[in-house]
Amino acid sequence: MALIRKYVFGETDDDGSLLILAAIHGNETAGTAACLRLMEELCREHIKIKKGRLTIVPVCNPEAYRRDVRSVEENLNRVMTMHENPATYEQRLANEICPLIKDNRVILDLHSTHCEGDVPFAFCDYPDNYNKKLIDALEVGYVLEGWPDIYSRQAEIQDFSTEHCAHIYGNTGTTLECGYHKSPAAVELAYRAVIQTLAAFGMIDGVEAKSYPKQHIRMDSYVIKQRAGKLCRAYKHLDKVSAGEPLAVYDDGELLTAPKDGFMLLPNLNAEIGTEWYYLGSNAM
């Protein structure tokens, strides 16, 4: 029996196909709420798909969603590839989600973040014309670039994300971080993102396609938390950092500092040992 449920609207993918994913991380519920609202409007025919095919998976990690946790056994967004012998719950989920990613030209993966006041942003991992059109339609001020580069350079953790999976299959996707997941504003942002994406690709009538200006930030590196320690302050995503600034300290006294002026990205104050602690970035040229 399938672990995930998908909902399909529109007849054919001849005119394009869009896949919306939500709750890849089970406690990131803003995207799910936005999907449920959209599905109700589609069922009531307040919104109609006029061309192409829309597939919605409102809950990609059902067990984590039920428990209100990020993952059950491992990060689903690091194992998004086909597993011949799936060893974990998330690998079994990946085996159901990857064929959907393969079957859709455009993928919008809705995430949300963990602190009140978190700034919404999108990732642009594999730029192409479809990706540009998709990202232009999202109402966020920041785009992070260069994720695949830092993962291939540092090679500590494999990057099997939804965007990587889409890229491997010749499709395109983006990850949208909608802001704090308990905030109604994040649900609104996710909902508008989906509507604007449908408008951008000409799949619905009655909504004017818009394009939002963005600041592009290049991701330079990431830091894996090697042992017990803590960040030097309660950093927030996109906080500015200066060269030499102390960022984190291990319990044994080793201090980690910023190598140059730039931005603190995706800090995880409660990172577990062996996982990403924070990223650093700078203005993209």
Looking at the Cβ atoms of 114 and 216, the one nearer to Zn ion is 114
Residue number of the CB closest to Zn ion reads: 111
Looking at the Cβ atoms of 179 and 229, the one nearer to Zn ion is 179
Looking at the Cβ atoms of 162 and 196, the one nearer to Zn ion is 162
CB of 183 to Zn ion, least distance (A): 15
Looking at the Cβ atoms of 111 and 237, the one nearer to Zn ion is 111
Beta-carbon count within 10 A of 61 CB:
28
Choose which of 111, 181, 225, 237 interacts with Zn ion (CB under 5 A): 111
- Angle at the Cα of 24 from the Cα atoms of 283 and 147, rounded to 5 degrees: 25
Residues 4-43 that bind Zn ion (CB under 5 A): 25, 28
Is the distance from CB of 234 to CB of 248 less than 8 angstroms? no
Element containing residue 130 per DSSP (H, E) = helix 129-136
Judged by CB under 5 A, does residue 181 bind Zn ion? no
β-pair type (106-113, 262-265): unpaired
Q: Which stretch binds Zn ion (CB under 5 A): 56-64, 107-115, 125-133, 239-247?
A: 107-115
Looking at the Cβ atoms of 220 and 276, the one nearer to Zn ion is 276
Looking at the Cβ atoms of 25 and 225, the one nearer to Zn ion is 25
How many of the chain's residues bind Zn ion (CB under 5 A)?
3
CB of 43 to Zn ion, least distance (A): 27
CB of 24 to Zn ion, least distance (A): 6
CB of 109 to Zn ion, least distance (A): 8
Burial of 214 from C-beta contacts in 10 A (0-12 / 13-18 / 19+): middle
Q: Which stretch binds Zn ion (CB under 5 A): 90-98, 109-117, 156-164, 242-250?
A: 109-117
> What HEC string does 59-104 produce?
CCCHHHHHHCCCCCCCCHHHCCCCCCCCCCHHHHHHHHHHHHHHCC
Is the distance from CB of 105 to CB of 17 less than 8 angstroms? yes
**DSSP secondary structure string for all residues of 211-277:** ----EEEEEEEEEE--SSEEESS---TTEEE-TT-EEEEETTS-EEE-SSSEEEES--TTPPTTSEE
CB of 181 to Zn ion, least distance (A): 9
Is the distance from CB of 248 to CB of 224 less than 8 angstroms? no
Is the distance from CB of 73 to CB of 89 less than 8 angstroms? yes
Looking at the Cβ atoms of 42 and 166, the one nearer to Zn ion is 166
CB of 129 to Zn ion, least distance (A): 26
Q: By the criterion CB under 5 A, which residues form the site for Zn ion?
A: 25, 28, 111
